[in-house]
Amino acid sequence: MTWALESDVVVVDMDRSDADWSKWARERKVAFELAPLLEMRGAEKLQVGFTFSLYAAAPMDEEPGAERRGAGEALKQELLALAEKALATEQGVASTELEPPRTVVLRPENELKPEVCLSWRIFHKDEYLKPVTVAEREGLTQFEKRLHQLGLKRGHW
């Protein structure tokens, strides 16, 4: 399963090099998570895709209110651009669904430090309940390598 993100227009500089993205990711402590997307079909549990989440340190150095909200929104747009950069080599044969963004998340993996999070559900375009194959699971390894090339850490910083 290869996939590309379907999202709103992003007005971030997409011409950044991998090295520039890597520096940006380190500065903002960007981490990712990949997990199975599981559904029930009758009594059978099956993996129908993956969830992909990006986390970045929330802009807590900004003044509370409009300034911090604006910085958080800009960070979300950059995370969208980063995700699109990571998927630039993929052919879109799967559907992606951006989950409603949350304002801030607190994860135990990151010592409950405030983070901005974007998450996608990734599944087959032709049939939602179509099980993921071994080859598709193995293909996820290449995507994870690409995320590491862009400076992202799995789990947390």
Task: Convert the pLDDT of each residue in 38-66 to its tens digit.
Answer: 999 899 999 999 999 999 999 999 889 99
- Whether 93 shows a pLDDT value over 80: the answer reads no
Question: Residue 25's pLDDT band (boundaries 50, 70, 90)?
Answer: very high
CB crowding 98-124: b at 16 or more within 10 Å, else e: beeeeeebebeebeebebbbbbbbbbb
Q: What percentage of the chain carries pLDDT values higher than 90?
A: 62
Angle, CA 123 vertex, CA 24 and CA 7 arms, to 5°: 45
Both tokens assigned to 132 = 């993921």
Amino acid sitting at position 104: V
| Separation between Cα atoms, residue 49 and residue 55, nearest integer Å | 20
Q: DSSP string covering 40-93, please?
A: EETTEEEEEEEEEEEEEE--TTSPTTHHHHHHHHHHHHHHHHHHHHHTTT----
For residue 92, what pLDDT is reported?
58
Q: State which amino acid sits at residue 81.
A: A
| pTM score, whole prediction | 0.84
Structural domain boundaries in the chain: 18-154
Mention every residue, 6+ apart, whose C-beta is less than 8 A from residue 98: 5, 6, 7, 118, 119, 120
